[in-house]
């Protein structure tokens, strides 16, 4: 199945307007690119903070109002048909509930303009604090400015977006996508014994997440002379595209020893293609992926996928903690990086049973 | 009227222009005086548009000269003409719909104060202009909020409001209703009183006589006459436009014609049209055509002859009226229904409404008959081929083979293919709208022969033409249309050319006396 | 037809031989390009000459051929069907929703749901006289949304071992069954276009709308049928892709495929203005586009560079066609 973005002038002429529109319907970025049918239970594996930045923000006018008397607005970026988003929303919802506060929830459904108006209307409703999962790396300035005017603190989660810390938002919390690439490479080194050829199936071209996952991976692989990346092609976060591309790569490189995919959805496509080719994943070829969806972790448990680096969506407790610190006048780190798990054959079943894999 | 006291503003002398060896204008002159409305008259192909395009700088004349206020000028592009004070308003309104009236009128001439647009001054300025022409339009309204007529006024005002010495109005009334036309005429009269020279083109006789101070008549690219409405009454004007070619009386065998009429009178009615009305273009038109009779719809351009054909065929939805084909009423006509009822219609616009350009002669000729020669949707190739063979032979179509693209054929041959399309259906009545338009003389004769053969077969034939002589020679009877209404009925063998001319000019009293009918 | 030969205007400066050659190259440009790229791969691409590669190529090309054939009809009438990619997603979502009724039932319902979108689209175009570009843009967004809504949007696996696994993997005489189906469908449509009134009416509508009306042809019904067929083909294509990946994936299936289909139609020699339909050309162009992608991945050409190369190849193919048009 071919679904590569088509950008010849001929077709651009035919449907110039289309390109803009399809972008709305296509999730362009992981996290949140994930598929899978895992449970959406929050709290099964709560987040652990990996590291925090030294730069902090402090509330110049702390208040005594307990968080339990507050209204907290949450602007989700994409719909919860995506399990990552489902788990994230559930985590925020539960954390707000546990703090005794009231939640106002909106979902922009991948529409940037809607996210702006969502945030604006929550401000108008008089929320005391905002948690925002940005749709993209830019474009939320006007909403941030409106929040700042009302002295409403904003916590951004999962995707970093443009803005000045302490002014536009008080903190960003999320995964370190470069580090994810490095950890995937480490798992690959272990799986292949540091010898062999590797194919990489990347996320959508131009996405920050994909770029960082590529860089982290190749920087680490470069440390190992026995390993060579022989193919780097995009799978656009899509199962079917990844399957097609994997088929083509393995035709050209039948000896390929390792496959690195930027997301679990693409790992599933690669798995099918490798099987079709007659390779036995886990034996002839080692797959390493990122995300931690139940579908993929299942394959880790069965040995077909060697390892999955987790992208943990459970930001609720950390976000509430940051807000509590802010209101009470304590320092809040400007950047909080979450600890992501690594699923291997040893802990995969456990993660599935506990619901940590989503 | 003494015109000599008015200054001559724009003068065209001995203008000649040809395109690819075809003469569009041969020695044409035009004199436009200040403060008068000058009607430019002529049938299609007379050279009106070519002359206008030369005055506006779109074309350059091959010979002859233009004098503006006595000085020779040459326009190498439209902008030259505009800068010399010649403004033109075309049929299509050319405004920016989402901008205000004021912005449109002042486009490119906005008043500025210290480099900044002075909105208040702009509005005041436009208001003053609109008042001058007694136009009740709010300068702040968006153009898109105005009716088509008012948009046209805005376009005219924009064209004339600033230093227009000559204003060319090419069929400005064609899209307007009666009320709007009155407003337009007021604007034109105001312009005249301000001393502008107005060149006015209209196909409506009554407008010409209401508005114009002087006429220039062109025919076949030649200057015919310059005169005043008083000296050139309607009948004389029409005659000047159509040419004074007297019919070769000898070619009409009156006795034979009378015999034929008597025979036809015994025939049943093949096509009956009663009280047909469509918008203002077809008004209460009624006529009958007997089987085997050739009836010509005679009328000038804009008389409603094409619209009448289209309304009968259902190509436009008539507001009222009944059509009966060989005794069977044709209810709620659409082209598909009309075709099944046995009515065929050959459009006057071969290129836009006739041919399928990329497709072959075969596909074009059998386009309307496919339903009848297919089984379960599968077209019978042998039937298709035999139809093409039969009608190509009968109509003497010249093409290398049946698969040749129709667009590669000459106009005459294209027309024959289309005739084949309609005739292969075995129609009871055919409507042939200017079937000889733009085809060469040989093909013309072929088409005439085919039309007579159709009549011989007992088909009721309705035919129109832009050439009056052609209809007089071809038809058994003429139904005269003027401004959408039937103004008379004549038998070519009974009347002289001058009678026809007076009918054409819309003078119904003459019509009454000649529409005698059979003896 | 009488036998007189019509003398055509031959004011061209090129020698008859050269003009003939250009004309010939233009007429068969897409086939030439396909063969040339195929031969290039046989020679220069390791692992290309293998059953696995060629089967993969055909598995991927089959759904594109289907939607491109539907698109050819729409474009042939002077219209366009921008909804096909989203309709594929709807079909995939519907499969997941009705899998409980059995795999065959799910497939039938999915294709029927797709066809229903086509009926809606066709009605808007034919009866409400809305520009197909407008209806298509609307449906492109709306149907994708509908697909995500009915399915709960997320990817869900189809249990292996049944009809879907067969569709996604079966071959007959080494050729994927889906490819055989797509080619058979293309053949059937080519027959429709060449031999039936339906095909003629479609061409008439595209060639000269007003003339088609005046010739009494059922333009509206024809348009309705064409957009319905196009959507039904997209529905089948959605089933094929779902079967191939063994999952329903409405968020990703069919994204931007309408553009690929349009490109295939145009490269295949059907002009965007309508009035000419070349099904065989479309099939060849769909294979050509798929082959370009395969080539780039197998040669591991960088994505950005690949896009530029692809654009150049497409423009070259279109340029050859332009030469042909002028030569006529």
- Any CB–CB contact under 8 A between C196 and chain B? yes
Query: Residue C5: is its pLDDT beyond 50?
Result: no
Distance CA A167, CA A146 (A): 11
Same domain, A181 and A305: yes
Q: C86 and chain A: CB distance < 8 Å anywhere?
A: yes
> What is the SS3 string spanning C63-90?
HHHHHHHHHHHHHHCCCCCCCHHHHHHH
Give the one of A10, A35, A254 whose C-beta lies nearest to C47's C-beta: A254
Query: Are A158 and A187 in the same domain?
Result: no
Q: Which chain C residue lies closest to B370 (C-alpha atoms)?
A: C197
Give first-to-last CA distance, chain A, whole Å.
27
**What pLDDT tens digit does each residue of chain A (358 aa) get?**
444 433 333 333 343 333 333 333 333 344 444 444 334 444 455 677 888 888 899 988 888 888 888 999 999 988 777 778 888 999 999 999 999 999 999 988 777 888 999 999 999 999 999 999 998 888 888 899 999 999 999 999 988 888 888 889 999 999 999 999 999 999 999 999 999 999 999 998 878 889 999 999 999 999 999 999 999 999 988 899 999 999 999 999 999 999 999 999 899 999 999 999 999 999 999 999 999 999 999 999 999 999 999 998 999 999 999 999 999 999 999 999 988 889 999 998 988 988 888 8
Q: How many domains does chain A have?
A: 2
**Buried-state track A195-218, b at ≥16 Cβ within 10 A, e below 16:** ebbbbbbbbbbebebbbbbbebbb
Main-chain phi, psi angles of B420, to 5 degrees: -60, -40
Closest residue in A to C271 (Cα–Cα): A14
Distance from CA of C266 to the nearest CA of A (A): 9
The 8-class DSSP code of residue A77 comes to S
Task: Using CA atoms of A327, A330, A336, A338 in order, give the dihedral in degrees to the nearest 10.
Answer: -80
* Residue A15 within any structural domain of the chain: no
Q: Tokens in use for A58?
A: 């402090």
With beta carbons less than 8 A apart as the criterion, state whether A197 and A230 touch: yes
Contacts C5 to B, Cβ<8 Å: 400
Question: Is a pLDDT exceeding 60 seen at residue B509?
Answer: no
Instruction: Determine the straight-line distance between the first and last CA of chain C, rounded to whole angstroms.
Output: 21
Q: Which residue has the tokens 């982290």?
A: A216
Which chain C residues are closer than 8 Å to A249 by Cβ? 297-298, 300
Nearest CB partner across the interface for B408, out of C4, C8, C197 = C8
Residue pLDDT, tens place only, B394-403: 888 888 889 9
More confident residue, B228 or A136: B228
Option in A21, A79, A272 nearest C153 (CB):
A79
Q: Report the length, in residues, of chain B.
A: 519
C197 in contact with B at a CB cutoff of 8 Å? yes
pLDDT tens digit string along A63-104? 888 888 899 999 998 877 777 888 899 999 999 999 999 999
Of C1, C5, C200, Cβ closest to residue B363? C200
Residue A33 domain flag: no
State which residue of chain C sits closest to B311, comparing Cα positions: C214
Residue pair B462/B289 in contact by the 8 Å Cβ criterion? yes
8 Å CB contact of A6 and C56: no
Contact A239, C154 (CB under 8 A): no
Residue C282 to chain A, least CA–CA distance (Å): 15
Number of A to C CB contacts under 8 A, please give it: 193
CB contact under 8 A, C56 and A251: yes
- Sorted by where each starts, the structural domains of chain B and their CATH numbers stand as 8-242 (3.40.50.300), 249-342+427-514 (3.40.50.300), 358-426 (no CATH)
How confident is the model at residue C321, as a pLDDT?
66
Looking at the domain assignment, is residue A350 inside a domain?
no
**Is there a domain that residue A60 lies in?**
yes
Residues A306 and A182 grouped into a single domain: yes
Pairwise pLDDT comparison (C226 vs C250), residue with the higher score: C226
Identify the CA nearest to C86 among candidates A112, A266, A239, A25. Answer: A25
Side-chain-side CA neighbours of residue B276 (13 Å): 34
Model confidence band, residue C16 (pLDDT cutoffs 50, 70, 90): low
DSSP one-letter string for B394-449: HHT---S-TTSBGGGS-HHHHHHHHHHHHHTT--SEEEESSTTTT--HHHHHHHHH
List chains adjacent to chain B, taking adjacency as at least 3 C-beta pairs closer than 8 Å.
C
Over residues C81-110, mean pLDDT: 95
Query: Is the CB of residue C8 less than 8 Å away from at least one CB of chain B?
Result: yes
C217 and B392 in contact by Cβ < 8 A?
A: no
Q: What tens digit of pLDDT does each residue of B309-351 get? A: 999 999 999 999 999 999 899 988 999 999 999 999 999 888 8
Kind of pairing, strands C171-172 and C175-176?
Answer: antiparallel
Residue among B497, B489, B502, B488 nearest B470 (CA) = B497
d(CA A265, CA A239): 5
Amino acid C4: pLDDT: 39
- CA A104 to CA C78: how far, in whole Å? 49
Find the CATH number of the domain harbouring A258.
3.40.50.2300
The pair of structure tokens assigned to B283 is 């008004």
> Which pLDDT belongs to residue B105?
85
Q: Which two tokens stand for residue B211?
A: 């508005």
Residue B33, C-beta contacts closer than 8 angstroms, at least 6 positions apart: B3, B6, B7, B8, B9, B197, B214
The confidence score (pLDDT) of residue B91 equals: 61
User: Using an 8 Å Cβ cutoff, are A114 and A143 in contact?
Assistant: no
Comparing C151 with C300, which gets the higher pLDDT?
C300
- Which residues of C are less than 8 Å from B337 in CB distance? 216
Q: What is the mean pLDDT of chain B?
A: 84
Q: How far is CA C85 from the centre of its chain?
A: 11
Residue C110 contacts residue C98 (beta carbons within 8 Å): yes
The larger pLDDT score, comparing residue B512 to residue B193, is at: B193
Min Cα–Cα distance to chain A from C127, Å: 24
More confident residue, C169 or A8: C169
Whether the CB-CB separation of B416 and B444 falls below 8 Å is answered with no
In chain C, where does DSSP find H-type helix?
A: 16-27, 29-44, 51-76, 84-98, 103-126, 132-151, 163-169, 177-195, 197-207, 209-214, 219-245, 257-267, 279-298, 303-327
E strands, chain A, are: 48-52, 56-57, 71-76, 102-107, 129-132, 154-157, 171-174, 196-202, 227-234, 258-261, 286-291, 307-310, 332-333, 335-339, 342-343
> What is the reported pLDDT for C242?
95
Q: Please state, in angstroms and rounded to a whole number, the distance separating the CA atoms of residues A178 and A184.
A: 10
Of the listed ranges A43-57, B321-335, C51-65, C239-253, the one predicted with least confidence = A43-57
Considering the domain architecture, whether residues A222 and A206 belong to the same structural domain is answered as yes
Residue A74 resides in a domain: yes
Mean pLDDT over residues B156-171, rounded?
A: 82
Q: CA neighbours within 13 Å on the CB side: how many for B93?
A: 24
Quote the minimal CA–CA distance from B435 to chain C in Å.
16
How far, in Å, CA of B350 to CA of B339, rounded? 18
Pick A41 or B180 by higher pLDDT: B180
Q: Are residues A212 and A109 in the same domain?
A: no
Judge whether residue B175 has pLDDT over 70.
no
Helices C177-195 & C51-76 angle (0-180, nearest 10): 30
Identify the weakest region by mean pLDDT among A98-102, A118-122, B259-263, C166-170. Answer: B259-263
Of C207, C213, C214, the CB nearest to B357: C207
Candidates B400, B403, B442: best to mutate against C (most CBs of C within 10 A) is: B400
* pLDDT on residue B244: 56
pLDDT band for position B81 (50/70/90)?
Answer: confident
Q: What pLDDT shows up at residue C17?
A: 63
Same domain membership, residue A169 and residue A65: yes
Same domain flag for A212 and A299? yes
- Domain boundary residue, one of A293, A310, A327: A310
> Could you tell me if residue A19 is inside a domain?
no
At residue A185, the pLDDT reads: 96
Domain assignment of residue A321, yes or no: yes
Q: What is the pLDDT of residue A136?
A: 80
Same domain, A137 and A234: no
- pLDDT value at position B361? 94
pLDDT of residue C153: 60
Nearest chain C residue to B392 by CA distance is C1
Provide CB contacts within 8 A for A175, sequence distance 6+: A31, A158, A311, A312, A337, A338, A340
| Residue B44 scores a pLDDT above 80 | no
Task: Give the bridge partners for B481, in sequence order.
Answer: B486
Query: What range defines the domain where residue A109 resides?
Result: 48-175+313-340
Residues of C in contact with B421 (CB under 8 A): 215
Percentage above 90 pLDDT, chain B: 37
Rounded percentage of chain C residues whose pLDDT exceeds 90: 68
| CATH number of this structure's domain C57-327, picked from the four choices 1.10.10, 1.25.10, 1.10.3470, 3.40.1440 | 1.10.3470
- Nearest chain A CA: its distance from C191 CA (Å): 27
Q: Which residue has the tokens 């007659």?
A: A278
The reported pLDDT for the residue numbered C322 is 64
pLDDT of B114 reads 72
- Whether residues A119 and A210 share a domain: the answer is no
Q: Where do the DSSP E strands lie in A154-300?
A: 154-157, 171-174, 196-202, 227-234, 258-261, 286-291
Q: Classify the complex by whether its ipTM is higher than 0.95, answering yes or no.
A: no
pLDDT of residue B297: 93
Query: What secondary structure letter does DSSP report for B310?
Result: H
Confidence of residue B207 (pLDDT cuts 50, 70, 90): confident
Greatest mean pLDDT range, A7-16, B73-82, B290-299, C298-307: B290-299
Which chain C residue is nearest to residue A4, measuring alpha carbons?
Answer: C256
Please report the pLDDT score of residue A135 as a whole number.
Answer: 85
CA A15 to CA C259: how far, in whole Å?
A: 8
If asked whether residues A132 and A210 sit together in one domain, one would say no
In a domain, A294, yes or no: yes
What was the pLDDT predicted at B503?
74
Identify which has the larger pLDDT, C235 or B177: C235
- Tell me the angle at which helices A208-221 and A177-192 cross, rounded to the nearest 10 degrees: 40
- The pLDDT tens digits of the residues spanning B349-401 come to 888 899 999 899 999 999 999 999 999 999 999 999 999 999 999 888 888 88
Nearest CA in chain C to B380: C195
- Quick check: B191 and B184 in contact, CB under 8 A? no
Give C 249-278 residues with CB within 8 A of chain A. 249, 251-260, 262-263, 266-267, 272
For B50-72, what is each residue's pLDDT tens digit? 899 899 888 899 999 999 988 99
**How sure is the predictor about B252, in pLDDT bands with cuts at 50, 70 and 90?**
low
SS3 for B289?
Answer: strand
- Identify all chain A residues contacting C137, using CB atoms and an 8 Å cutoff: 17-18, 21
């Amino acid at each position: 199945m071919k679904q590569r973005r088509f950008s010849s002038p001929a077709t651009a002429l035919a449907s110039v307007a289309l390109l803009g529109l399809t972008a709305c319907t296509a999730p362009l970025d992981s996290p949140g690119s994930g598929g899978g049918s895992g449970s959406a239970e929050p709290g099964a594996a709560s987040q652990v903070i990996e590291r925090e930045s030294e730069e902090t923000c402090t509330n110049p006018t702390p208040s005594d109002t307990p968080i339990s008397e507050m209204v907290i607005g949450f602007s989700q970026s994409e719909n919860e048909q995506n399990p990552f988003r489902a788990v994230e929303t559930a985590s925020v919802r539960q954390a707000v509930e546990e703090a005794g506060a009231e939640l106002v929830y909106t979902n922009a459904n991948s529409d940037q303009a809607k996210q702006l108006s969502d945030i604006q209307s929550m401000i108008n409703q008089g929320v005391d604090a905002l948690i925002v999962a940005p749709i993209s790396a830019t474009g939320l300035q006007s909403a941030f400015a409106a929040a700042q005017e009302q002295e409403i603190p904003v916590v951004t989660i999962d995707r970093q977006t443009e803005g000045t810390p302490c002014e536009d938002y008080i903190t960003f919390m999320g995964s370190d996508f470069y580090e994810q690439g490095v950890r995937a490479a480490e798992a690959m080194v272990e799986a292949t014994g540091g010898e062999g050829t590797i194919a990489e199936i990347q996320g959508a071209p131009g996405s920050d997440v994909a770029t960082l996952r590529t860089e982290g991976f190749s920087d680490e692989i470069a440390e190992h002379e026995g390993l060579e990346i022989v193919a780097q092609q995009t799978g656009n976060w899509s199962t079917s595209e990844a399957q097609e591309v994997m088929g083509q790569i393995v035709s050209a490189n039948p000896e390929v020893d390792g496959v690195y995919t930027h997301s679990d959805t693409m790992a599933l496509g690669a798995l099918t293609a490798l099987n079709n080719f007659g390779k036995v994943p886990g034996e002839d070829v080692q797959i390493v992926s990122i995300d931690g969806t139940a579908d993929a972790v299942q394959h880790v448990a069965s040995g077909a996928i060697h390892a999955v680096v987790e992208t943990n969506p459970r930001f609720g407790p950390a976000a509430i903690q940051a807000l509590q610190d802010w209101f009470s006048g304590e320092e809040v780190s400007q950047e909080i990086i979450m600890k992501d798990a690594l699923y291997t054959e040893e802990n995969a079943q456990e993660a599935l049973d506990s619901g940590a894999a989503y | 009227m003494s015109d000599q006291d008015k200054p001559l503003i724009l003068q065209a002398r001995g203008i000649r222009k040809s395109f690819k060896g075809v003469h569009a204008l041969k020695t044409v002159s035009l004199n436009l005086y200040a403060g008068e409305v000058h009607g430019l008259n002529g049938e299609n192909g007379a050279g009106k548009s070519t002359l206008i395009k030369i005055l506006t700088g779109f074309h350059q004349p091959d010979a002859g000269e233009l004098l503006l206020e006595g000085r020779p000028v040459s326009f190498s592009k439209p902008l030259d003409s505009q800068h010399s004070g010649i403004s033109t308003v075309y049929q299509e309104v050319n405004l920016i719909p989402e901008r205000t009236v004021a912005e449109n009128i002042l486009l490119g001439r906005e008043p500025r104060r210290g480099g900044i647009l002075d909105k208040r001054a702009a509005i005041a300025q436009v208001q003053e202009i609109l008042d001058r022409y007694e136009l009740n339009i709010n300068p702040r309204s968006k153009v898109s909020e105005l009716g088509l007529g008012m948009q046209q006024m805005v376009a005219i005002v924009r064209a004339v409001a600033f230093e227009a010495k000559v204003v060319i109005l090419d069929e400005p009334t064609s899209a307007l209703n009666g009320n709007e036309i009155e407003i337009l005429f007021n604007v034109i009269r105001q312009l005249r009183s301000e001393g502008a020279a107005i060149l006015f083109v209209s196909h409506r006789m009554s407008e010409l006589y209401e508005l114009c101070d002087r006429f220039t008549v062109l025919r076949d690219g030649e200057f015919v006459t310059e005169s005043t409405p008083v000296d050139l009454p309607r009948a004389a004007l029409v005659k000047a436009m159509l040419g004074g070619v007297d019919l070769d009386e000898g070619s009409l065998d009156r006795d034979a014609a009378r015999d034929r009429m008597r025979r036809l009178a015994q025939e049943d009615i093949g096509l009956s049209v009663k009280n047909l009305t469509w918008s203002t273009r077809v008004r209460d038109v009624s006529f009958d055509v007997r089987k085997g009779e050739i009836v010509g719809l005679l009328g000038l351009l804009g008389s409603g002859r094409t619209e009448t054909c289209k309304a009968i065929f259902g190509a436009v939805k008539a507001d009222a009226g009944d059509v009966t084909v060989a005794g069977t009423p044709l209810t709620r006509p659409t082209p598909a229904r009309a075709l099944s009822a046995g009515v065929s219609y050959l459009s006057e616009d071969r290129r836009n409404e006739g041919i399928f350009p990329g497709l072959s002669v075969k596909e074009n000729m059998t386009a309307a008959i496919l339903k009848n020669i297919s089984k379960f949707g599968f077209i019978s190739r042998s039937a298709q081929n035999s139809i093409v063979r039969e009608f190509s032979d009968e109509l003497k179509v010249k093409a290398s083979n049946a698969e040749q693209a129709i667009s590669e054929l000459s106009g005459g041959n294209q027309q024959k293919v289309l005739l084949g399309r309609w005739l292969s259906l075995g129609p009871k009545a055919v409507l042939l709208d200017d079937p000889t338009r733009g085809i060469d003389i040989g093909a013309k004769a072929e088409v005439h022969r085919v039309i007579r053969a159709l009549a011989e077969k007992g088909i009721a034939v309705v035919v129109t033409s832009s050439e009056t002589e052609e209809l007089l020679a071809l038809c058994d009877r003429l139904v005269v249309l003027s401004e959408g209404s039937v103004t008379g009925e004549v038998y070519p063998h009974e009347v002289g050319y001058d009678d026809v001319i007076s009918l054409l000019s819309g003078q119904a009293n003459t019509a009454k006396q000649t529409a005698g009918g059979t003896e | 037809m009488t036998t007189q030969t019509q003398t055509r205007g031959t004011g061209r400066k090129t020698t008859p031989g050269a003009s003939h050659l250009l004309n010939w190259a233009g007429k068969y440009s897409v086939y030439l390009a396909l063969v040339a790229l195929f031969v290039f791969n046989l020679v220069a691409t390791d692992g290309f000459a293998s059953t696995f590669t060629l089967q993969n190529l055909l598995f991927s090309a089959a759904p594109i051929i289907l939607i491109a054939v539907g698109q050819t009809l729409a474009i042939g009438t002077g219209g366009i069907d921008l909804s096909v990619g989203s309709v594929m997603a709807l079909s995939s979502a519907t499969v997941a929703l009705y899998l409980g009724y059995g795999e065959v039932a799910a497939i039938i319902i999915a294709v029927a749901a797709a066809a229903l979108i086509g009926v809606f689209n066709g009605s808007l175009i034919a009866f409400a006289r809305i520009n197909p570009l407008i209806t298509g843009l609307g449906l492109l967004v709306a149907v994708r949304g509908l697909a995500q809504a009915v399915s709960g949007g997320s990817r869900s696996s189809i249990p292996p071992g049944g009809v879907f696994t067969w569709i996604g993997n079966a071959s007959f005489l080494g050729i994927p069954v889906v490819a055989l189906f797509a080619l058979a469908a293309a053949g059937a449509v080519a027959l429709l276009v060449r031999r039936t009134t339906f095909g003629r009416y479609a061409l008439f509508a595209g060639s000269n709308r007003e003339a088609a009306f005046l010739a009494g042809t059922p333009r509206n019904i024809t348009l309705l049928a064409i957009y319905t067929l196009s959507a039904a083909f997209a529905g089948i294509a959605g089933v094929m892709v779902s079967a191939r990946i063994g999952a329903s994936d409405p968020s990703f299936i069919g994204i931007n495929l309408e553009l690929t289909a349009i490109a295939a139609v145009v490269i295949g020699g059907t002009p965007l203005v309508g009035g000419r339909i070349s099904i065989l050309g479309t099939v060849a162009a769909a294979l050509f586009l798929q082959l370009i992608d395969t080539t780039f991945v197998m040669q591991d050409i960088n994505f950005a560079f690949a896009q530029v190369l692809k654009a150049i190849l497409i423009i070259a193919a279109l340029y050859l066609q332009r030469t042909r048009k002028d030569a006529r």
